[in-house]
Structure 1
Amino acid sequence: MKFNENLQTIRKDRKLSQEDIAEKLGISRQAVAKWESGTAYPDIDNLILLSELFCVTIDNLVKDTAECSTKCAVGKEIHKEKIVQFLKTATRYTYAGKGKEEEIPCRPSSHDLKYEQGEMKYFDTYIGGEKFSGEEVVFENNNPMWAMNYSGRTIGEQFSGDFLKEVLLLRPEEMPFRGPEVYQNGNYTYHNTYDGDFSWFQGKEEIFWGDKKVFECFYHGGIVK
Structure 2
Amino acid sequence: MDELEAVIIEAKRAAYVGGAAQATTPSRMGAHDVSWKRGEWSYLDSYFGGTDFSGQEVVWRRGEPVWAMSYFGYIIHDDRIDASRAGAVIKHALGKLYAEEGRFLGGYRCAHDHGVYVDENDGDFSRFTGRERIEVGGVEAYNLVYHGGLIRP
TM-score, length basis structure 1: 0.60
2:89 paired with 1:163: yes
Runs of 4+, deviation exceeding 4 Å: none
Aligned 8 A contact 1:187 1:210 in 2: no
Summarize the Cα distance change of 1:120–1:138 in structure 2 as closer, same or farther, 3 Å threshold. Answer: same
The residue aligned with 2:120 is 193
Q: Work out which of the two has the higher radius of gyration on C-alpha atoms and give 1 or 2.
A: 1
Write the mapping of 1:49-128 to structure 2, written as runs, cut at 5 A.
81-128=2-49
- C-alpha RMSD of the superposition: 1.7
2:57 paired with 1:131: no
2:81 paired with 1:148: no
Task: Give the whole-Å Cα distance in 2 for the aligned partners of 1:114 and 1:90.
Answer: 8
Q: 2:140 aligns with which of 194, 200, 213?
A: 213
Aligned 8 A contact 1:153 1:216 in 2: yes
Unaligned runs of 5+ in 1: 1-79
Higher strand proportion, which one? 2
Aligned 8 A contact 1:167 1:180 in 2: no
Aligned 8 A contact 2:92 2:112 in 1: no
Unaligned runs of 5+ in 2: none
Aligned residue pairs total 144
Write the mapping of 1:9-20 to structure 2, written as runs, cut at 5 A.
none
Query: Sequence identity, in percent?
Result: 33
Task: Give the whole-Å Cα distance in 2 for the aligned partners of 1:128 and 1:143.
Answer: 27
> For 1:111-153, what per-residue CA distance to the aligned partner results, in whole angstroms no more than 9, with x for missing partners?
0011000000011000011111101111100111111000110
Higher RCO structure, 1 or 2 (CA under 8 Å, sep 6+): 2
